[in-house]
Chain A
């Protein structure tokens, strides 16, 4: 079954509760649909718009990735269109290459974040022990040089 990705933007003036509810509504809509599988659901929160849309300069971004029948997409768009709080939306059909590429990108980002977190933890413990030993700082800093094996971009 085809995989789609939909992004929609809501007015920035919503309260947290409204914003939450809005996201859930559409998430639920896709989940409940016949033969559909929700793959990802993100909220990017308030972001600055590249140009004014209906007089707003910021918007609340929502992102969904799901597998569903075309009819579901149509219905989702129809509802988004009618909702006055939603100021823009865009649905895209993803090719297999696209899905793979996106998944890889996500994995890499997660790995990088994990590596960074680990390095910070090590640095923190190192600093703690230095303070106890009274400033024996010179030997410890060579550890960082080998870790960046996949930063080849």
Chain B
């Protein structure tokens, strides 16, 4: 996959369980490059309230 769109909430949601934290690579099984893209996308999505920073 070439680019992870931070607007693609459905894709992103699979990588942030309860609590809203980003899943570590060893748990989600993604490769290093994609994990980096994911991280960036999730952080952007959080900044525009498409994803939460934390949930309780």
Contact = CB atoms under 8 A, between A and B. Distances in A.
A50 B52 contact: yes
Interface residues of A, number: 19
Interface residues of B, number: 15
B2 A88 contact: no
B51 interface: yes
Given A101-B2, A102-B3, A102-B5, A88 B48 contact: yes
A39 interface: no
Given A97-B3, A102-B5, A50 B46 contact: yes
Interface string B24-56: 000000000000000000001011111111000
B48 A95 contact: no
Interface string A82-107: 00000011101001011011100100
B13 to A, nearest CB: 11
A59 interface: yes
B44 A90 contact: yes
Contacts of B50: 50
Interface of B: 1-3, 5-7, 44, 46-53
